[in-house]
Amino acid sequence: MTRRTTALLAALTLTTALLVSACSSDGGGDDSDQPAPGPTSAVANSPSASVSSSAPGSPSGSAPGPPSASGSPSPSASGGVGTPSGSGSPTPSGSPGAAKQAYWHPTPGTPWQWQLSGTVDQSVDAPVYDIDGFENDASVVASLHAKGRKVICYVNAGAWESFRPDAAAFPNSVRGSGDGWKGENWFDIRQLDVLRPLLAQRFQMCKDKGFDAIEPDLLDAYANNSGFPLTADEQIAYNKMVAQLAHDLGLGVALKNDVDQVPQLVDFFDFAIDEQCAQYQECDELTPFIQQGKAVLHVEYTVPTSQFCPQSKKLGFSSMEKHLELDAWREPC
């Protein structure tokens, strides 16, 4: 029983006694006993109550340490760069659960490498690598881990890709308009029952290969010409499902682009990956991730570093310039 509850019960008891005494003295009161104050809820005083009362997705009490100047992973309690995320995975109702589970995520300012084409250049001096989940086997992930790197698994979660080995598993009914890349078509994200098990298989592949987190691409179909009448609410529901699938496997997960829905989704994702927020003047919209101790991994393709790096450093972003084909070349801030 807390001090606040004890004081409340004492006050109620005293008030009751005074009322009974007053009624007895003037003879006009009822002789029936007054009801005793109800018992204090055990849940309200249990340790779990203090957890659930805190804001979902809030960072842990210790501030994340800055990345080392050399770009090599700095020591942490998790044994690698970044920290376990404090955001609870969504419950079936779609809200973060009261019980917190740690998912690895990079901390603000952590340097990173993003390579989706060609053989992965493992000599790049960055503590976090983001590479294609299909094109790289477990030996590549293990080799990067041996060098002290954390590895993110790139998987397309928003569009069908004709060139993937599981392409035939996706029915025509979920394939919409082209997304601007050859052999790719937007998903009908309303068909959760169809897409959920197919994405779960892709995420399981990432888990089996030893990846630490997932980059689910194209989480903003509703804002594009997908070929389907998608709404913002349907996109939020889909993105929460994607986050849940990753968390079910114990993997961290990034919110890819979808800057307009950051306020609704920041508590469900462990970090953000963004393309061209400087070019489109959207970077400020991603700051809720930084405020929760979660990295914003950011790239620009046509804007030179001299134009976006000052702002990126001020915001605490992990920014770099890359070629559009996402080969090994990079120019970090």
Q: What is the pTM (predicted TM-score) of this model?
A: 0.74
Output the tens digit of pLDDT for each of the chain's 333 residues.
333 333 333 333 333 333 333 334 444 333 333 333 333 333 333 332 322 233 333 333 333 333 333 333 333 333 346 766 555 444 433 445 434 678 999 999 999 999 999 999 999 999 999 999 999 999 999 999 999 999 999 999 999 999 999 999 999 999 999 999 899 999 999 999 999 999 999 999 999 999 999 999 999 999 999 999 999 999 999 999 999 999 999 999 999 999 999 999 999 999 999 999 999 999 999 999 999 999 999 999 999 999 999 999 999 999 999 999 999 999 999
**pLDDT at 329 (0 to 100):** 98
| In the block, residue with structure tokens 């080969």 | 327
**Cross-strand bridge partners of residue 131:** 115, 153
| In the block, residue with structure tokens 């800057």 | 259
Residue 221 burial (C-beta neighbours within 10 Å; 0-12, 13-18, 19+): buried
**pLDDT at 101 (0 to 100):** 74
Tally: H helices and E strands in the chain: 8, 14
Cβ atoms < 10 Å from Cβ of 46 = 11
20 Ramachandran zone, left/alpha/beta (phi>0; psi -120 to 50): alpha
| Distance, CA of 44 to CA of 53 (rounded, Å) | 10
**pLDDT at 85 (0 to 100):** 56
**pLDDT at 64 (0 to 100):** 35
| Axis crossing angle, helix 192-209 with helix 138-146, rounded to the nearest 10 | 50
**pLDDT at 81 (0 to 100):** 66
**pLDDT at 65 (0 to 100):** 35
**pLDDT at 89 (0 to 100):** 40
Domains and CATH numbers, the chain: 1-45 (no CATH), 54-332 (3.20.20.70)
| In the block, residue with structure tokens 């989706």 | 116
